[in-house]
A and B are shown apart, each in its own frame.
Chain A
């Protein structure tokens, strides 16, 4: 049974400059025990999307549904939400130093959160459970370290403490928002390893929000690629990485420096993401897309199936056969673009307008 079912979620913020349309019509499912990776650049709406589910976007205009354990999260009042947050769905934020209170001991903060949700737990029971949790996430000498303040922990240990806190009430779903972005590579490896292991042990579902495709490749089962507040592409991890369909996904994958292309030129995506107040017409990626044709400028594509299984979906007008990074796929793309553009001369490729800045 699906754990979380988000349907047609729209989030916008009225501001003095105009309405910021942060999330537009996003739908996705999270299955128990699985990991959904949400990838996107700054401003793609990935954080707003998940914070809205937990009622953490005050002032936003929200429409859509988010069914979690039989209730619509978007309909819950503040009291009901408080019972869900932390207990059924918990969050791990990017910067553990700003998410921990600097003046309270780490152990106290975790115990307090246990007792806030379940008054029947005594202080000593909560303290014992806290030590057990800290041990579980790999804090050495957990009994004594529980009495430390956040500043006495290193960055990696603080993130471990945050994970301990997120696990405290055995939630069904953990939302991790860039949990390793502030950490060094070797510490990031420790934390990802820990998350994977805990997930195996506890069967918790995980939503991993990140801009790092490497992290997603490592930890996710399914991937949702977001661009300008909308789902550009969605599917099982291998489909997204090996047969990407949306030119944005393809561009992201190609702009990462990798060992295969060492020393050569990188293929950046030209231009920059659009303003969420003044979105372009049609497909929101079309001003940066190398395969743009008339339809892209007029009509906004929605997710449609690319693979036979129907699990891999993409919001792009190019034919399904053009999925992938191979030469054949490139040929299909070029031919489609040529046919669509009709009388225009040779199609401009992504490489052709590389490096240009709007």
Chain B
């Protein structure tokens, strides 16, 4: 039942055209659906074996929903999710169960994701009981091994979560995720609740574990530097769609989608001189509602490069050949026709934009809106 492409041994997870809508209900007595939240809208991507795919995007971009679809925690509206060649979206509960061991999650908040009334040993040992892989003394031994591996004192087996600090609790979450030796760990903002000095400890632990066990990560975060640090490939989501995807270094050095460029310029770096020198692109307005996303390119109402066609035609996610220099004459860049290899998470650099940003092109223009104080003398008007 596996498609030909999945004989490719490099791919662990293949997401094909996944759509997830949530109904919006109204009415008091007779509830009826009045709209759909387009949380994830036609997203395809791959996660390679032993590699990390970073997923960045702002609140409401659908990154966590996509992760839950990949984990099989919520049913998809349409589309397919292949795990090791098996489509998990069509499986029954019992057929799904053995596969669940292969995908684990680490959550953002180490305070609310651990039951405060259960002992740490029981929390980490749960996966063994649920999947009936170890009991009694053996279970305890395995739990203590895990605790040691993630940097916790195994003697703290009988303590409660409240007796641990935030960073240590996140280590408990990591140990629990690791228990069944999964192939994929989905990390949903695993370090954003932690202080900077502790965050680095957990990131180093995740990278050690990846090397030791050959884990694949789907790593979701809003901190772009963190994502760059851990990821091999990065995909940028905006309002339920992937706007751009590429190997991490390529994406960060030559971003093509205006949204990616704005996002990268918005993140403040801990370097006063670069902060002053950087031309921050101040996007106007807020992210539109995913209940009624804009027509055409979803980013066009906030895009400094938007042209009439952007509001009409949705740009495909394809590779673009761009050279440094002033932007072209204003005719849309159709991009190359996509091939099977151009799925986000692979080697290709794909962008869904009619007017991708050339290397060296500045998006900061004098007319970038009343808020554009950062726009001093930087724009040459080439992106008007």
Which residues from chain A sit less than 8 Å from chain B, CB to CB?
Answer: 41-42, 138, 140, 154-157, 184-190, 192-194, 196-197, 211-218, 237-238, 241-242, 251-253, 255-259, 261-263, 265-270, 272-273, 354-357
In-complex Cβ contact of A237 among B228, B272, B280, B282 (8 A): B272
29 intermolecular pairs with C-beta atoms under 8 Å apart: A41-B196, A41-B197, A42-B195, A154-B286, A185-B224, A185-B267, A187-B58, A189-B265, A189-B283, A190-B282, A193-B280, A197-B373, A213-B196, A214-B275, A216-B270, A217-B275, A218-B275, A252-B196, A252-B197, A255-B197, A256-B270, A259-B228, A262-B229, A262-B248, A263-B229, A266-B204, A269-B197, A272-B165, A273-B195
Q: Given A193-B373, A196-B373, are A266 and B268 also a contact pair (CB < 8 Å)?
A: no
Contact residues in A for B287 (Cβ distance below 8 Å): 154, 184
What would 14 more interface pairs be, CB under 8 Å, given A194-B371, A214-B269, A251-B197? A41-B196, A184-B58, A185-B266, A186-B262, A187-B286, A218-B272, A255-B196, A257-B203, A265-B204, A266-B229, A268-B197, A268-B198, A268-B204, A355-B204
Does B263 have its Cβ within 8 Å of any Cβ on chain A?
Answer: yes
Closest CB in chain A relative to B111 CB, distance in Å: 12
Closest CB in chain A relative to B24 CB, distance in Å: 16
Contact residues in B for A155 (Cβ distance below 8 Å): 59
Q: Given A256-B225, A258-B270, are A186 and B283 also a contact pair (CB < 8 Å)?
A: yes
> Residue of B at shortest CB range from A266?
B200
> Residue of B at shortest CB range from A40?
B195
| Contact call B196/A355, Cβ cutoff below 8 A | no
In-complex Cβ contact of B273 among A154, A238, A273 (8 A): A238
A186 to B265: give the CA distance in the assembly, Å: 9
> Residue of A at shortest CB range from B195?
A41
* Contact residues of B: prevailing secondary structure: helix
| Contact call A214/B58, Cβ cutoff below 8 A | no
| Contact call A257/B282, Cβ cutoff below 8 A | no
| Contact call A190/B272, Cβ cutoff below 8 A | no
| Contact call B280/A189, Cβ cutoff below 8 A | yes
A218 to B126: give the CA distance in the assembly, Å: 45
A252 to B198: give the CA distance in the assembly, Å: 10
| Contact call B226/A213, Cβ cutoff below 8 A | no
A269 to B198: give the CA distance in the assembly, Å: 7
In-complex Cβ contact of B152 among A157, A251, A357 (8 A): A357
Closest CB in chain A relative to B287 CB, distance in Å: 8
| Contact call B59/A184, Cβ cutoff below 8 A | yes
CB-contacts of B283-335 with A (<8 A): 283, 285-287
* Contact residues of A: prevailing secondary structure: helix
Contact residues in A for B200 (Cβ distance below 8 Å): 255-257, 266-269
| Contact call B58/A185, Cβ cutoff below 8 A | yes
Contact residues in B for A218 (Cβ distance below 8 Å): 268, 272, 275
> Residue of B at shortest CB range from A187?
B286
Q: Given A217-B269, A256-B270, A357-B151, are A185 and B197 also a contact pair (CB < 8 Å)?
A: no
> Residue of A at shortest CB range from B276?
A218
Q: Given A268-B198, A272-B165, are A190 and B283 also a contact pair (CB < 8 Å)?
A: yes
A193 to B279: give the CA distance in the assembly, Å: 12
A211 to B268: give the CA distance in the assembly, Å: 13
> Residue of A at shortest CB range from B249?
A262
A215 to B223: give the CA distance in the assembly, Å: 13
A186 to B285: give the CA distance in the assembly, Å: 10
Contact residues in B for A270 (Cβ distance below 8 Å): 201
Does B113 have its Cβ within 8 Å of any Cβ on chain A?
Answer: no
Which residues from chain B sit less than 8 Å from chain A, CB to CB?
Answer: 58-59, 151-153, 165-168, 171, 195-201, 203-205, 207, 222, 224-226, 228-230, 248-249, 252, 262-263, 265-273, 275, 280-283, 285-287, 370-371, 373-374
A212 to B153: give the CA distance in the assembly, Å: 30
A266 to B151: give the CA distance in the assembly, Å: 16
A138 to B83: give the CA distance in the assembly, Å: 47
| Contact call A257/B226, Cβ cutoff below 8 A | yes
A352 to B53: give the CA distance in the assembly, Å: 30
Contact residues in B for A192 (Cβ distance below 8 Å): 268
A122 to B118: give the CA distance in the assembly, Å: 58
Contact residues in A for B199 (Cβ distance below 8 Å): 255, 268
Closest CB in chain A relative to B280 CB, distance in Å: 6
Contact residues in B for A216 (Cβ distance below 8 Å): 270
Contact residues in B for A42 (Cβ distance below 8 Å): 166, 195
Closest CB in chain B relative to A309 CB, distance in Å: 17
Contact residues in B for A355 (Cβ distance below 8 Å): 151, 201, 204-205
A192 to B278: give the CA distance in the assembly, Å: 14
A217 to B274: give the CA distance in the assembly, Å: 9
In-complex Cβ contact of A157 among B263, B286, B374 (8 A): B286
A271 to B159: give the CA distance in the assembly, Å: 19
Q: Given A214-B269, A217-B271, A357-B152, are A256 and B286 also a contact pair (CB < 8 Å)?
A: no
Q: Lowest 3 A-B CB distances belong to which pairs? A: A214-B268, A268-B200, A257-B229
Q: Given A41-B195, A190-B283, A193-B373, are A214 and B267 also a contact pair (CB < 8 Å)?
A: yes
| Contact call B269/A265, Cβ cutoff below 8 A | no
| Contact call A211/B273, Cβ cutoff below 8 A | no
Q: Given A193-B280, A214-B269, A357-B152, are A259 and B252 also a contact pair (CB < 8 Å)?
A: yes
Closest CB in chain B relative to A94 CB, distance in Å: 14
> Residue of B at shortest CB range from A213?
B270
| Contact call A190/B371, Cβ cutoff below 8 A | yes
Closest CB in chain A relative to B351 CB, distance in Å: 18
Contact residues in A for B222 (Cβ distance below 8 Å): 184-185
